[in-house]
Structure 1
Amino acid sequence: MTTLDSPRETSNADAVARDRANVFHSWSAQAALKPLAFAGGSGTTIWDYEGNEYLDFSSQLVNVNIGHQHPAVIAGIQNQLAQLATLAPAHASDVRGTAAEKILAHAPANMSKVFFTNGGADANENAIRMARLHTGRDKVISRYRSYHGNTGAAIVATGDWRRIPNEYARGHLHVFGPYLYRSNFWATTPEQESERALEYLRRTIVAEGAESIAAILLETIPGTAGVLVPPPGYLAGVRALCDEFGILLILDEVMSGFGRTGDWFALDAFDVVPDLITFAKGVNSGYVPVGGVIISEEIAATFDERVFPGGLTYSGHPLAAASIVASITAFEEEQIVENAAMIGRDHLGPGLLALAERHAVIGEVRGRGVFWAVELVADRESRTPVDAAFMGAVKAQLLQRGLLPFIADNRIHVVPPATVSAEEVASALAIIDEALGAVTGARAAA
C-alpha cells in the first residue's frame, strides 16, 4: 500500500502518463495536453519528480502569495486537522470567526461580515446574488477584458472567450475598460483614457436604464487579461457613477488581493471603497480551497431579518479557516506585504523596464508589487502582438533555463510569490533576458 510515509517511486513520465489516463483538464483540448509534472516545492522554488528545480514565477495561478509549503500555514492546517477536521456551516467555531476577523481587519472600514465560499467563482456568484437582492435590480455590468470564474453568473460576467460557449445566465452586459496601450477610446494620455472610459460607462448606464442595474463588477486590476493597472481617477469615477445611479460596486480581488500588488488589497492604492469585495486563492495561497465575499455593513443588514437564499456545504471549512488565520498572521509578522511592495518598486519594476530598453520585442511593461505583465510585440510602432509560435518558443526557453512562467496571449506575466527575494528576482530577470535574446536571435537568423 502506498502511504504518505512510504511514497512510491515516480518519474515525470509516470506522473504525466497517470494524469493523461485519468484526469480531465480545464480549458483544454484533452488530446493535445503535455502537462509538466511537479513533486514538491519550498518558498519560490518548485521541483519535479527527477529533481529538476524551477523558480516559480507563475505562483501557479497567481495565488501562491506566501510561497510553497510555508511552515506556519502547514502547521495551522495540521493543528486544525487534529482538532476538528470538518464542521457544518450552520455551527460556530472559533477558527472560522477568527479567519473572518483577520480578513476584516485589513478591509475598508465599511465592511462588517465575511461570507465564505469554496473559491473565487462562487464568491463572485454570491456577490452578484447579494447585489440583486439588496437593490431589487437585475443587470450586472462587467468588462470585456476580465475573468470572474467558471460558474453560471461568474462565467457570463467574464469578458474573454471563455464566456461565449457558456452564456446561460441572464442580465449581463459588458463594456471596455481603460487600457491605454491598446485604447478603445483613441486616448493618448492616462488621464484622457480614464475620462473617456468613464464617459463611455456613463452612456452605457443611461442607455441600459440605471434603474435596472444592480451592480458593476470589476477586477480592481484585471489579471489574466493583462495586469491592467487602472489610470488615475478611473476607479474613483466608477464609484461616483455607482453612487449617482444607486448601483453597487463589486471589486473582484481574487487574484489581486492579499499582498499581490504590494498592498493588502489592490483597492488600497486607489481612492475607492466598494460595497462588496470578492476574494479567494490569495488569502491562503490556495493551500486549501476557499473564497469569500466581504460585505458592507449596509448590505449585511439587508439580511438581518430576511433570509439570504444561498449557502455551501464547505462554507468556512475549518481547515480553510485555519489556513487563512495562519497565512494572514505570517503576512503580518513577516512583513510579506511590505516585501512585495519593495520588490515591485526597487527590483521587478526597474528590472523589467531595463529589459524593455534592451529588447525591442517588449512593447509595454506594467504592474505593481509582484503583479506584472510584459507585453511582447512584433513591431513597436504598430504594436502587433507576437504570434503563438513566438510565445511557445519563449516559454520553452524559460523552462529550459529553470523559470516556470505564466504565459497569457502575447504576454509574460511576472508574478512570483510575495515572499520572493531580490536575488531570486535578479536570477529570473537574467533568465527572461536570455530567453528573449535566444528567441529573437533565432527568428532573425531564420
Structure 2
Amino acid sequence: MSSTDTTTPSETKLTSAEVVQITKDTNYGTWRYQKGWNPLHIVDAEGCYITDGNGKKYLDFSSQLMCMNLGHKNPAVIASIAKQAEELAYAMPGYATTTRAELSKLLLEVLPKGLNKFFFTTSGTDANEAAFKIARMYTGKTKIIARYRSYHGSTSGSIAATGDPRRWAMEPRGKGPGIIFAPEVNCYKCPIKHTYPTCGIACVDYLEHMIRNESDVAAVIVEPIVGTNGILVPPSEYMPRLRKICDEYGVLMIADEVMAGWGRCGTWFAMDLWGVTPDILTTAKGITSAYVPLGLCATTEKIGDFFQDHYFSHGHTYEAHPMTLAPAVATIKEMQRLGLVERAKELEPFVEEKLQALKAKHRSIGDVRGKGLFWAVDLVKNRETKEPFNTYVDKVSGKPLVVDQIAGKLAADGVMIQAWVSHIVIAPPLIVTKEELEKGIDALDRHLSIADELCV
C-alpha cells in the first residue's frame, strides 16, 4: 500500500473468488458434508432472477428455498423496511406498536377464519416450537404426533418432530420425549401399501388408531401439502377427516404452512383448499417474501381465551420485532394488489400440462403432482416398481444423487432449482410469467436424459 493510499484492508473490495473462499473457510454449509462445498457468490437479484459474481443470471425456479413469493427487489417491501428503520427500529415485545396492529388486522383478513390470536417469531421452526408449547400448555398433555416424510424445522422440538433424515443425527436424544410418527399421505407410493380411492383413506384411519391407542396426545402436526419432502398432496377427504378425528378425541390440529402458505398453492393457505381451519397454524417464508426473517404462530380464540387465566410461558427478545412486521404488511398488500393468489391458481393448469407432457416424454418421471405454483417432479429408476434412483440413506451418506446431477446441469444452463433425494421442486416466484415457466421447464426437459439413461 502506498503512503498516499488511505484504503484500509477491511475496505478493500473482495473478489468473487475471495468471497467464496472466506465463506467456505469460516462458515458452515447447512445440511451437508463440508468437504466439496463450493457456494455460488450471489451479488444481485431482481424479479425472478439472481446474478452471480461473474455477472451470470439465473432463473430462480424454486424461489430460493420456496420463499421469495414476490420475487426479488419488490419496491414496496424494500421501502417498508427503510421506513420502519427510520421510525422505530426496535421495541420489546411487551409494547404495542403501530406496525404490530396493522399486521394483526391484515392477518385477520387472509388467515383461515377462526384464527385470531397471534404470536410472532423469527422463523418457521420458532413458530413450531411455540405451537408445541401452546398445545401442551392448553391441553395439559404431552405427546405430539408428526408424520414421516415431513420437515418442521431445525431447533430442538421441531427437529424432533421432523420425519426426514435431518433428524437422525440428533437421535436418540434428538427425538425427544413425546414425539411419535405416523405414516405420511402419499397416494403415488403409499407407505402402508394401499391404493386410493379404494383405501378409504387408510392413512388417516391409522392416525386415529394411534390417537386411540396412545395416552396423552396433545396435538397432531401436518404439512397440509408436504413441502421439501415431495409436494405430497392429500386426497380431498383427508383434511376434513383429520379435523373430525381431532375434534372427537380432544386433540389439537397444527397446520405447518411455512412453505405451503401465502398463495403458493393457489389459495392464501393450503388448508383453504379443503375449507378446514386448524387449531394452530404456523407459517414463515412467504409472510415477508423472505425479505426479513419472520414467523407466525396463530391460534383460535378458544385457545387464546385459555391464557386469560393461565400463564403464557413463552417469549423471546425479537418477538413482534417492528423491522420484521413492517415488510409483512407490505408483502400482504402487494399480494393483494397484484392478485398473486389468484395468479398462482390461474397458472396451475398451464404448469400441470407442461409437466404431464414431460412425464409422457421421459421414462424417468414416475409422477408429477402439485397445486398452484408448488410442484414436484418425482424421478424413478423403474416406473413399474416405482424404485427411486436414490434414498434418504444415500443423502445422509454423501452418495452422489441423480437429482443433484440434473440440478447442476440446469444451473449451468441458467436455471436454479431445488432438488431433494429423488424429486425436483418447481416453485417459482408468484410473479413468474408463462415465458419464464416455459424457459425453466424446457431446461429441465433438456437434462432429464441424465435420468432416462439410468432407467431399467
**By the TM > 0.5 criterion, same fold?**
yes
**What CA distance in whole angstroms lies between the structure 2 residues aligned with 1:254 and 1:78?**
25
**What CA distance in whole angstroms lies between the structure 2 residues aligned with 1:333 and 1:2?**
46
1:355 to 353, 358, 382: 358
> Which segments of 5 or more consecutive residues in structure 1 lack a partner in the other structure?
none
Alpha-carbon shift at residue 224 of structure 1 (Å): 1.0
Residue in 1 that maps onto 2:163:
159
**What CA distance in whole angstroms lies between the structure 1 residues aligned with 2:263 and 2:144?**
28
**What CA distance in whole angstroms lies between the structure 2 residues aligned with 1:248 and 1:441?**
45
AA at the equivalent of 2:55: G
**What CA distance in whole angstroms lies between the structure 2 residues aligned with 1:340 and 1:306?**
42
Residue in 1 that maps onto 2:379:
376
Residue in 1 that maps onto 2:397:
none
Contact 1:261 / 1:369 at 8 angstroms: preserved in 2?
yes
User: What pairs up with 1:280-291 in 2 under 5 angstroms?
Assistant: 280-291=284-295
Using structure 2 for the length normalisation, give the TM-score: 0.92
Contact 2:47 / 2:72 at 8 angstroms: preserved in 1?
yes
CA RMSD of aligned residues (A): 1.8
1:248 to 252, 268, 277: 252
AA at the equivalent of 2:415: L
**What CA distance in whole angstroms lies between the structure 1 residues aligned with 2:275 and 2:105?**
24
> Is the partner of 1:355 in helix, strand or coil?
helix
AA at the equivalent of 1:381: E
User: What pairs up with 1:20-419 in 2 under 5 angstroms?
Assistant: 20-166=24-170, 167=174, 169-189=176-196, 191-193=197-199, 195-209=201-215, 212-345=216-349, 347-387=350-390, 388-419=400-431
**What CA distance in whole angstroms lies between the structure 2 residues aligned with 1:182 and 1:37?**
38
Contact 1:16 / 1:37 at 8 angstroms: preserved in 2?
yes
**What CA distance in whole angstroms lies between the structure 1 residues aligned with 2:227 and 2:358?**
21
Alpha-carbon shift at residue 198 of structure 1 (Å): 1.8
> Is the partner of 2:368 in helix, strand or coil?
strand
AA at the equivalent of 2:387: T
**What CA distance in whole angstroms lies between the structure 2 residues aligned with 1:421 and 1:2?**
45
Taking a change above 3 Å as real, the CA distance of residues 90 and 232 of structure 1, as seen in their structure-2 partners, is same
Taking a change above 3 Å as real, the CA distance of residues 56 and 248 of structure 1, as seen in their structure-2 partners, is same
Residue in 1 that maps onto 2:433:
421
Residue in 2 that maps onto 1:15:
19
Taking a change above 3 Å as real, the CA distance of residues 19 and 303 of structure 1, as seen in their structure-2 partners, is same
Contact 2:183 / 2:192 at 8 angstroms: preserved in 1?
no
Taking a change above 3 Å as real, the CA distance of residues 159 and 443 of structure 1, as seen in their structure-2 partners, is closer
AA at the equivalent of 1:362: I
**What CA distance in whole angstroms lies between the structure 2 residues aligned with 1:228 and 1:443?**
25
> Is the partner of 1:337 in helix, strand or coil?
helix
Contact 2:150 / 2:223 at 8 angstroms: preserved in 1?
yes
Using structure 1 for the length normalisation, give the TM-score: 0.94
> Is the partner of 1:31 in helix, strand or coil?
coil
Contact 2:187 / 2:234 at 8 angstroms: preserved in 1?
no
Contact 2:264 / 2:344 at 8 angstroms: preserved in 1?
yes
Q: How many percent identity over aligned positions? A: 38
**What CA distance in whole angstroms lies between the structure 2 residues aligned with 1:194 and 1:125?**
33
Taking a change above 3 Å as real, the CA distance of residues 350 and 311 of structure 1, as seen in their structure-2 partners, is same
Contact 1:37 / 1:49 at 8 angstroms: preserved in 2?
yes
Taking a change above 3 Å as real, the CA distance of residues 288 and 2 of structure 1, as seen in their structure-2 partners, is farther
Contact 1:180 / 1:193 at 8 angstroms: preserved in 2?
no
Alpha-carbon shift at residue 412 of structure 1 (Å): 0.8
**What CA distance in whole angstroms lies between the structure 2 residues aligned with 1:12 and 1:354?**
40
> Is the partner of 1:165 in helix, strand or coil?
helix
Contact 1:251 / 1:276 at 8 angstroms: preserved in 2?
yes
